[in-house]
Every structure is written in structure tokens, then in C-alpha cells.
Amino acid sequence: MRLFIAIEVSDEWRAVATSQQEALIAALPPAVRAHLRPVGAELLHVTLRFLGEVDEGAIDPLQAALDAVLPFAVTLSLEPAGTFGPAPRTGVVWLGVASSGPRGELRVLRGLARDVERAVRLVGAPPEDRPYSAHLTLARLARGAGPGDRRAVAEAVRALDAPPPVPFTARELVLVRSYIEGPAPRYEVLSHHP
């Protein structure tokens, strides 16, 4: 089964993300708009670790390892939108996630991501080599989007107004199963931690 570990976000964050998606869509020509795949509000989350395909027998040990992650409370806020990669290869549009509380809150989130990494490695997941980058995925571009379409999206993202910060305090992780069959992905929360 296809799994990831995440922080579920507040309804206020979902509303801001939806507003940013609408602004982005309105800024794009119709031909480019056709390549944009906005993430549904109900699917928005902050991923801590994507696992991919995991054997069903690993679920119980994984949940036990996540239960061992220390309780936490980290206050986060939203930052301006951005994209991954150079403009002609842009594939993902995101909102930044930053510290909202005392200095060091984002360091707490990165520490939490490290704790999750240790937990998943205990159950045999391969290591994640990329540094953790906290973000909220707003949209993806379809595979058929050309470099010009991708560049237009990257430019429109840079022109978006910054979202309101909307502080949100995260206190739990979720283990989520992702179903990618069909016209849109579907997520099922398997467990809450700690």
C-alpha cells in the first residue's frame, strides 16, 4: 500500500490555499490552465515523509515506531507561493510553511521530520537523502505541459500576493494511505500519533 506521514492542516489553511489556487488559475491563459491540477482542499497536508509502497505487514511496526515520537506542539504559518525546479521544468506549486511562534519553531518541525525519519528507518524504509522542505502543495502540472506552460505557471506564481500567515499549531502526525487509481487521488488516515 502507498503511504505517507503528514500533519493535517486547519480549515483556515485550507481556505487560504483555495484562495491562492483560484488567484493562480485566474492569472493563467486557458491553454495553460488546462495543464494545472489543483490539489483538493480536503487533501491538503504538510508531508513529513513520503514512503511509497509499503508491505501491509509493516503497518503495525510503523505505527508503533510513530507512537514513540515525542509529543510536540509547533506553531506554523503560511508564506508566499513558490515552485520546485527551474521555470521550464516546474512541476509543483506550493505555499511555504514557516515558523509563527518563538524563534526556532521551524527548527522544531525539522526535528520532528528527523524523528519521523528515524521511526521509518527502524521499520526498514530506505533513507531520504533530500533535506526536509516544509510546504503545502497547491497544484501539480500535467505531464503533457510543455516548457512554455511551465514557465507561465512559475511566472504567475511569483506574481501572486503573499497569503495571510494564519498561525496554526500542529500537535499530531497522521499515517495516511494514498489511493491513486481513478481520476483523482484519495487519502485514508490509518492512524494518529503520538
Q: How far apart are CA 8 and CA 189, in angstroms?
A: 10
Q: Quick check: 39 and 182 in contact, CB under 8 A?
A: no
Which one is the CATH code of 2-193: 3.90.1140.10, 3.20.110.20, 2.60.40.420, 3.30.70.100?
3.90.1140.10
Question: 90-117, pLDDT tens digit by residue?
Answer: 999 999 998 765 556 677 888 888 999 9
pLDDT at site 170:
92
Rounded (5°) CA angle 155-180-175: 95
pLDDT at site 101:
59
Question: 42-66, pLDDT tens digit by residue?
Answer: 999 999 999 999 989 999 999 999 9
Q: How far apart are CA 76 and CA 74, in angstroms?
A: 6
pLDDT at site 86:
94
pLDDT greater at residue 57 or residue 182:
57
DSSP-derived letter for residue 185 is: -
Q: What is the mean pLDDT of the chain?
A: 92
* Domain positions in the chain: 2-193
pLDDT at site 28:
97
What's the mean pLDDT in 117-142? 89
Backbone angle region of 52, left / alpha / beta, with phi > 0 → left and psi within -120 to 50 → alpha: left
Percent pLDDT > 70 in the chain is 97
Q: How far apart are CA 152 and CA 148, in angstroms?
A: 6
What's the mean pLDDT in 129-152? 93
Is pLDDT above 60 for 146? Answer: yes
Is pLDDT above 60 for 143? Answer: yes
